[in-house]
Structure 1
Amino acid sequence: MTTSEFKNVQGIAAIEALLAAEYGIAGEILALPGEHDLNFRIQASDGRAFLLKLHALGAPEELDMQIAVLDHLAREATELPVAKVLPSRSGASFTRVEFNGERVARLLTWLPGETWARAANRSSNSVETLGALLGKLDRSLAGFSHPGARREYAWDIARAEMHLANVDLIEGMEKRRAVRAILEHFVSTVLPRLKACPRQVIHNDANDYNVLVGADGCVSGLLDFGDMVESNRVVEVAVASAYALIGSPDPIGAIARLAGGYHGVNPLGETEAELIFDLVRTRYAVSMCMAARQIRDNPENTYLLVSQEDVWRELRRLEQENRPLAIARLRDACGFAPIPKAARVVRWLESNAHEFSGVIKPGIARPKPAVFDFSANSSETWAGLDKDVAQARIEAHIHAEGADFGLGLYGEDRAVYKGDAYQATTSLRRTIHLGIDLFAPANEPVHAPFAGKVAFYHDDAVPYGFGPTILLEHRTGEGDAFWTLYGHLSRESASRLSIGQPVARGEAFAAMGNRAENGGWVPHLHFQIVTDYLGLEGRMHGVGVKEQWQVWREISPDPSVVLGLSVPASVIVERDKAFLVRERQRRIGRSLSIAYGSAPLKIVAGEGAYLIDDEGTRWLDMVNNVCHVGHCHPRVVKAAQMQMARLNTNSRYLHDSLVEYSRRLAALFPDPLNVCFFVNSGSEANDLAIRLARAYTGNRDVITVDHAYHGHLTSLIDVSPYKFAGKGGEGRPAHVRVAEMPDLYRGRYRYGDTDVGRKYAEDVKRQIDALAAEGRKPALFFSEGILGTGGQLVLPEGYLRGAYAHVRAAGGLCLADEVQVGFGRVGSHMWAHETQGVVPDIVTMGKPIGNGHPMAAVVTTEAIAAAFANGMEYFNTFGGNPVSAEIGLAVLDIIRDERLMHHCAVVGNRLMDGARELASRHTIIGDVRGYGLFNGIELVRDRDTLEPAAAELDFVIAEMKDRHRILLSSEGPQHNVLKIKPPAPFSADDCDRFLEALDAVLAQVKAA
């Protein structure tokens, strides 16, 4: 009896009775497909949905296994989107029922989503999330075992050798030949390696009807554990890949994304990664054998014939893939080096480069090349150019430069190639140049850079007419083989060579071909390093696929190391955002966050208050106080370029710029702040400040303000409650005391209290008294002039004056952290602490000091500096170098000449007045605060309870970015403060644009 037979009234009535009797459920019943089991969707009258399965009685162990595994996952992996078993009224996981024979009934929770086969929104995310789901599943199943899984199962491709007996049942000689070759390769090559791979129970059937996809295109569920088996873990990846690649324009790319998703949560071994490609082919071969046997037993089943044509189509596509390249791509997807020996080959080349001979013109010690940009985005057009004109242009350029030869670069994107209308029509077209082109006259001798032997010869006369290519084989000291490739050679010179012929270092073994034997193009040598010739021998590719560049650059590394030219001979290949995110996570560390992580920006340029992405979109930057005088300010750029061209060295040598900059910087502070120390970051500056304070006071304890952040060094994490009291933090260190955050909006003392500054400062005294009770004194009190991570909080009047008095009375020093707020940003003063009418003992600066250049400074008194000179030399290699000094001077000049402090005051007032006007119409705005262009807009759900509107702020930030191209971020302990700190050139028009956009977005929030 099939599921469809239950569509009759009698069948539905029987199921209704079952549901009522065993589960107390009534509702609509919908029959679903099923090969062996009867499946029904139950839409209960109370709105809940369920899956009813009526299992055919088979091996009892297998059914028990399906029950046991869901029980296991319900205990061990509650977060996995798999069905949960619902017990009957008697508490049983299943019940025996009579439906034209005995069956076993189970009721399961319903999983939302559309099946993969029917989902219209499948994407690369679908494949990656499927891999991640299977990785989590198998990780959860690693400790699960069941007798029912230890079966000789025909769909276990780890036992694929059993299907050799069925190959002759397949119709069509081509199909039989292909399947037999795959299975024999499995037995001889794959199986011996597979046996060493991890084994466990796996799902084994993530097909396109068992995988559910949600509205966002990500996998939302996994169905049907009936094909579970104890097998090799990597089989899970192969089975899922066989379905996931169907219809993909890049089958290996689909497999790689799935394997990468799996590996990210359940790491595969190198052998497993290398076997995936062959195991996917094996899965298709097994499927064809199984179908052939079923068709023999049930010749009327025409559906099997149709489905096997789909399998054959996908298998043929895989058979057309280059196997070594596919394995390299899958190794890369799992975090392994695509070509294991490539790094060793490059290291050998770099270590021995001093012994290499020149490839052309070896008699010239340092030959001078003229560089040509043949890339598709070159400012000079080469595509479609008449070859005579192109040759004349190249020859004229080489002559004008007084060069010894011309140079075409490694890594160029030649999507439109040199007059041959070589168009890149798909994302998989090979367009990235893998070698370096050396342009010289025809018959110019070509020399071997180091000893080797002739390995491969290929004449590319048809279809391209590009002449012969020779590969020489070489060996590193560790015995790794690699090759150098020489293309577009003279046919006469190449014909004299024989395979295996030794070639000595510096030997002129061939010559460049002329135009007639080089496709009509200008005579040149294509020189390339090859670590794996991919089975192509002399037909080795000279261009690679851009989207696979991380693999191709290991197949053919940068040959600059061999040529040793006086100019760069390679370029960085630009990659898409998805690749950059993956590489950042792999190479840089996942703890380094990415702005707008769900939709990150690839920023390639900046101008004033704007950032420009890779598509040319201009983004109004309202959070980057680092580029204080504007992104890429021409005066800063020029100062850096000019000084870099003259000298950059450490500060041990005398240099006018360093002394002049220290004079100019110290002049911005009142006496006695007149001694400067130069470092490279705000973190370094604050760390040095702690050392200065401890040297001067003899004390060690530090007082900081709650939720403050002062830097990423260990010493500064210790004094940053934002870090040590947050996720991953280790709590307050014993030498640190935390003062209450003076929050006028939601703190203990608020707006309207005329004595609020003194009251908050009293808590600093309480921290000092607590130290005194333990016989200790403070060394240093840390505070910003406006509290950034605290939520852009303006300090209450008199707060620093009172706090400083308490600290100094106890023998401590007072520090003003101006890393975020200094250099005129507050508008009324050069430094934020000046708004409090105080003079600190130490001031630290960073971020805006160099407009993005890594520099920072500490300014203190002569007495404190003298106490630090205790015999231990202080030295900072890069702090105060001439380039940094010139950049610092340029920033000060621009602040002065462009009246940026006054500009910050005017535009900042305009912004806050506008924001307060919005607050009169949008009650979600609870507070508007700040000085100049350092502002905070706090969002609340209720102005009386001050309930934070953090989720609403997330929506505001996303809408401002996605709809209005304005970049903002959040701040504050509740993450509900809109942080505003744009580059100082932020204009009145920019301000009005922001206010208009914010008004519109807040209206959306209100409407929602």
Structure 2
Amino acid sequence: MTTSPPRDGARPILDMNAFDPATTGSAAVQRRLSNFGAASVLFYRQPIEMVSAKGAWMTAKDGTRYLDFYNNVPSVGHSHPKVAQAVAEQIQKINIHTRYIVPIVDTYIEALKSHLPEPLSNIAMTCSGSEANDLAIRVAQAATGGQGIIVTETAYHGNTGLVTEVSPSSLKRGSLPPHVIAVPPPSRHHYGSEIAKGFRTSVETALAEFARRGIRPAALLVDSIFSSDGIFADPPGFLTDAVATIRAAGGLFIADEVQPGFGRTGEAFWGFERHGIIPDLVTMGKPMGNGFPMAALAARPEYLDRFCADVGYFNTFGGNPVAAAAGLAVLEVIRDEALQANARTIGALLQDGLREIAAVDARVSDVRGAGLFIGIDLSDEHSGRPDPDLTVRVMDAMRQQAVLIGAAGRYGATLKVRPPLCLNEAEAAQFITCFKTALSR
């Protein structure tokens, strides 16, 4: 259990292969830095200026076409025509807040609810996953009367003030506040083969520490595929015991589906479904609008009732009709193009190919995940220790072959594979070939 960000060689995720502002960049880079200042986050030491994107591909200003294995926001494919058309048509009709009734908003919410467990019948629309997680924490604290939040040690849940406090991976210095405790993620490194038992024990230890501090627990908050921690999906069901433990202590379970949701894991529409549990609160965002900014909190009505009795909630842009049109189009594309099934099929092909590489190259120390959300651990072939320097070299070598990919995990030594759900067999094979080449450089 940790109460502060790890510093034993750990690397903040946004620092992995990031542009060094001290170096000389192009005029476009300098323009960005002058506008964004210290808040600028650019990928690669030589940033790419993009001009267009379609399907699983992005095109740079110099004409290079990049196979995108990094961006999980345009999940049904970059610039999907059905989403673009829905947005264009709706914005020409009406786009206003939810204090007026515009039928497409309720049509969308009902379509979204058809993918959720029945108890989660109330939806609060927001504009970002950060807002959704911020609201979920506030609802959990109001519903339970507690303040304590349990997260994992390299978690990222957003960037509002409240949510940054429960995002250890965001903190470059300092400690987590007393009401937040970070526990090790559900990995074999920490728990061996007893993932469910070990993770439950970590939650129990955190609860005991809260008791020592005189803090009542409010929630266990996890990204249900633990993407920032390095991607831990298996075995299915390992979350069940930990969820039962937090509920027995009077807290709630918040499933952060901002990254694993909307069919990405292949086997289920939501990450929590793989564990056979019904959360108390579910947050979602990123792929929800395929690039149009929208997010939401799904809640059991009794919890939202308690929160709204004291504070209430309204979001000017959350749930606007254009967002609803984008979201409805995304759900229809996932259904009509069988993208959840495609994630399962193509994801299995990718994992098979990656495991073949791992069988002959000790530097690929683990391959794990579900559907089109896969983690590839890279390690020193002699010591077996995580090798973030190798990870950066591989990312650079992949970029040289026009493939985009990012990193995750405590040490930044896990390649995070999350291409658009429309990825096809040829594109998956191209990735495998490029990865082999990158390891040989």
TM > 0.5: yes
**Structure 1, residues 687-734: CA drift from partner, whole Å, max 9, x if none?**
00011111111111111111111001111111111123xx2x321101
**Structure 1, residues 924-943: CA drift from partner, whole Å, max 9, x if none?**
11000000000011011137
- For 2:62, what is the secondary structure of its paired residue? coil
1:955 aligns with 2:403: no
Q: 1:969 matched to which residue of 2?
A: 406
**Structure 1, residues 209-241: CA drift from partner, whole Å, max 9, x if none?**
xxxxxxxxx9xxxxxxxxxxxxxxxxxxxxxxx
User: How many Å separate the matches in 1 of 2:388 and 2:181?
Assistant: 29
Partner AA of 2:187 in structure 1: D
Q: 1:854 matched to which residue of 2?
A: 293
**Structure 1, residues 534-578: CA drift from partner, whole Å, max 9, x if none?**
xxxxxxxxxxxxxxxxxxxxxxxxxxxxxxxxxxxxxxxxxxx71
User: How many Å separate the matches in 1 of 2:179 and 2:185?
Assistant: 19
Which of 706, 710, 721 is the equivalent residue of 2:153? 706
1:664 aligns with 2:108: no
User: How many Å separate the matches in 1 of 2:241 and 2:431?
Assistant: 37
**Structure 1, residues 49-102: CA drift from partner, whole Å, max 9, x if none?**
xxxxxxxxxxxxxxxxxxxxxxxxxxxxxxxxxxxxxxxxxxxxxxxxxxxxxx
User: How many Å separate the matches in 2 of 1:786 and 1:795?
Assistant: 9
Aligned ranges 1:34-73 → 2 under 5 Å: none
CA 1:797/1:757 → structure 2, altered by over 3 Å: closer, same or farther?
Answer: farther
- For 1:677, what is the secondary structure of its paired residue? strand
**Structure 1, residues 239-276: CA drift from partner, whole Å, max 9, x if none?**
xxxxxxxxxxxxxxxxxxxxxx8xxxxxxxxxxxxxxx
User: How many Å separate the matches in 1 of 2:236 and 2:408?
Assistant: 22
**Structure 1, residues 138-176: CA drift from partner, whole Å, max 9, x if none?**
xxxxxxxxxxxxxxxxxxxxxxxxxxxxxxxxxxxxxxx
Q: 1:623 matched to which residue of 2?
A: 70
1:931 aligns with 2:370: yes
User: How many Å separate the matches in 2 of 1:947 and 1:641?
Assistant: 50
- Per the TM alignment, residue 953 of structure 1 is displaced from its structure 2 partner at its CA by 1.5
Aligned ranges 1:533-552 → 2 under 5 Å: none
User: How many Å separate the matches in 2 of 1:916 and 1:630?
Assistant: 26
- For 1:673, what is the secondary structure of its paired residue? coil
User: How many Å separate the matches in 1 of 2:61 and 2:220?
Assistant: 44
Partner AA of 2:253 in structure 1: C
Aligned ranges 1:463-478 → 2 under 5 Å: none
User: How many Å separate the matches in 2 of 1:796 and 1:592?
Assistant: 38
CA 1:591/1:871 → structure 2, altered by over 3 Å: closer, same or farther?
Answer: closer
Q: Is the 8 A contact 2:144 2:251 kept in 1?
A: yes
User: How many Å separate the matches in 2 of 1:799 and 1:921?
Assistant: 30
Partner AA of 1:734 in structure 2: P
Q: 2:8 matched to which residue of 1?
A: none
Aligned ranges 1:273-422 → 2 under 5 Å: none
- Per the TM alignment, residue 796 of structure 1 is displaced from its structure 2 partner at its CA by 4.2
Q: TM-score, normalised by structure 1?
A: 0.41
- Per the TM alignment, residue 797 of structure 1 is displaced from its structure 2 partner at its CA by 4.4
Q: Is the 8 A contact 1:629 1:984 kept in 2?
A: yes
Q: 1:649 matched to which residue of 2?
A: 96
Q: TM-score, normalised by structure 2?
A: 0.92
User: How many Å separate the matches in 2 of 1:648 and 1:992?
Assistant: 42
1:806 aligns with 2:245: yes
CA 1:783/1:795 → structure 2, altered by over 3 Å: closer, same or farther?
Answer: farther
Partner AA of 1:991 in structure 2: A
- Per the TM alignment, residue 587 of structure 1 is displaced from its structure 2 partner at its CA by 1.3
Partner AA of 2:169 in structure 1: Y
CA 1:862/1:695 → structure 2, altered by over 3 Å: closer, same or farther?
Answer: same
Q: Is the 8 A contact 2:87 2:325 kept in 1?
A: yes
Q: Is the 8 A contact 1:846 1:857 kept in 2?
A: yes
Q: 2:39 matched to which residue of 1?
A: 591
- Per the TM alignment, residue 879 of structure 1 is displaced from its structure 2 partner at its CA by 0.3
Q: Is the 8 A contact 2:376 2:416 kept in 1?
A: yes
Partner AA of 2:56 in structure 1: A
Q: Alignment RMSD, CA only? A: 1.6
**Structure 1, residues 192-211: CA drift from partner, whole Å, max 9, x if none?**
xxxxxxxxxxxxxxxxxxxx
- Per the TM alignment, residue 952 of structure 1 is displaced from its structure 2 partner at its CA by 1.4
Q: 2:11 matched to which residue of 1?
A: none
Partner AA of 2:342 in structure 1: H
Q: Is the 8 A contact 1:961 1:967 kept in 2?
A: yes
1:881 aligns with 2:329: no
Q: Is the 8 A contact 1:781 1:814 kept in 2?
A: yes
Aligned ranges 1:732-743 → 2 under 5 Å: 732-743=176-187
Q: 2:15 matched to which residue of 1?
A: none
Q: 2:415 matched to which residue of 1?
A: 978
Q: 2:5 matched to which residue of 1?
A: none
- For 2:306, what is the secondary structure of its paired residue? helix
Partner AA of 1:951 in structure 2: D
Partner AA of 1:645 in structure 2: Q
Q: Is the 8 A contact 2:187 2:195 kept in 1?
A: no
1:794 aligns with 2:241: no
Which of 595, 612, 619 is the equivalent residue of 2:59? 612
Radius of gyration: which is bigger? Answer: 1
User: How many Å separate the matches in 2 of 1:615 and 1:624?
Assistant: 20
- Per the TM alignment, residue 593 of structure 1 is displaced from its structure 2 partner at its CA by 1.1
**Structure 1, residues 977-999: CA drift from partner, whole Å, max 9, x if none?**
11110111111100000111111
Q: Is the 8 A contact 1:584 1:590 kept in 2?
A: no
User: How many Å separate the matches in 1 of 2:138 and 2:97?
Assistant: 22
Q: 1:488 matched to which residue of 2?
A: none
The runs of 5 or more residues in structure 2 that have no matched partner are 1-20
- Per the TM alignment, residue 674 of structure 1 is displaced from its structure 2 partner at its CA by 1.1
**Structure 1, residues 796-833: CA drift from partner, whole Å, max 9, x if none?**
44431111111101111100000011000000000011
User: How many Å separate the matches in 2 of 1:870 and 1:994?
Assistant: 52
User: How many Å separate the matches in 1 of 2:64 and 2:384?
Assistant: 37
Q: Is the 8 A contact 1:786 1:821 kept in 2?
A: yes
- Per the TM alignment, residue 772 of structure 1 is displaced from its structure 2 partner at its CA by 2.0
User: How many Å separate the matches in 2 of 1:902 and 1:798?
Assistant: 21
1:723 aligns with 2:170: yes
Q: Which 4+ stretches in 1 moved above 6 angstroms?
A: none
The runs of 5 or more residues in structure 1 that have no matched partner are 1-128, 133-217, 219-260, 262-576
Q: Is the 8 A contact 2:366 2:377 kept in 1?
A: yes
Q: 1:392 matched to which residue of 2?
A: none
Which of 429, 432, 438 is the equivalent residue of 1:992? 429
Q: Is the 8 A contact 1:908 1:932 kept in 2?
A: yes
Q: Is the 8 A contact 1:757 1:797 kept in 2?
A: no
User: How many Å separate the matches in 2 of 1:779 and 1:946?
Assistant: 38
Q: Is the 8 A contact 1:816 1:842 kept in 2?
A: yes
- For 1:702, what is the secondary structure of its paired residue? strand
Q: Is the 8 A contact 1:927 1:939 kept in 2?
A: yes
- Per the TM alignment, residue 737 of structure 1 is displaced from its structure 2 partner at its CA by 1.4
Identity among equivalent positions (%) equals 38
Aligned ranges 1:745-756 → 2 under 5 Å: 746-747=189-190, 749-750=191-192, 753=193, 755-756=194-195
Q: Is the 8 A contact 1:826 1:934 kept in 2?
A: yes
